[in-house]
Amino acid sequence: MNHDRDRLKTPSARKSAPVTLDRVPLNSVGGTALFVHSDVHRAGLKFPEIPYECLIETEAFGQLARDLGVTPVGLPKVQVRHHAS
């Protein structure tokens, strides 16, 4: 059992062993690839419909999350690939 709460375990596409993904605290977030835990939305945090703290869209969401006590984190070992459809 993994008790290290600062790490996230996920299966690797290249290996059968899980890869440990470090978490890096962020001040805000961008929208290229945004993973939001469902518990965050269930708790009521939503994307602001109007500017929040002079920010809009994902940047406002990240700041609002931080102001409500949810720390946005980045996963620096995750690669997001866009495929042409």
pTM of the model: 0.65
Q: Is residue 47 part of a domain?
A: yes
- The SS3 assignment for 11 reads strand
What stretches in the chain show pLDDT beneath 50? 1-4, 6
CB-based burial label for 19 (10 Å; 0-12, 13-18, 19+): middle
According to the model, what pLDDT value does residue 1 have? 41
Q: Is residue 16 part of a domain?
A: no
The domain total for the chain is: 1
In a domain, 49, yes or no: yes
pLDDT score of 49 = 92
Q: For residue 21, what pLDDT is reported?
A: 73
Q: Which residues are within 8 A (CB) of 26 and not within 5 positions of it... i.e. 6 or more apart? A: 62, 71, 72, 73, 74
pLDDT of residue 3: 44
Q: What is the pLDDT of residue 55?
A: 92
**Structural domain includes residue 58:** yes
What is the residue range of 56's domain? 26-73
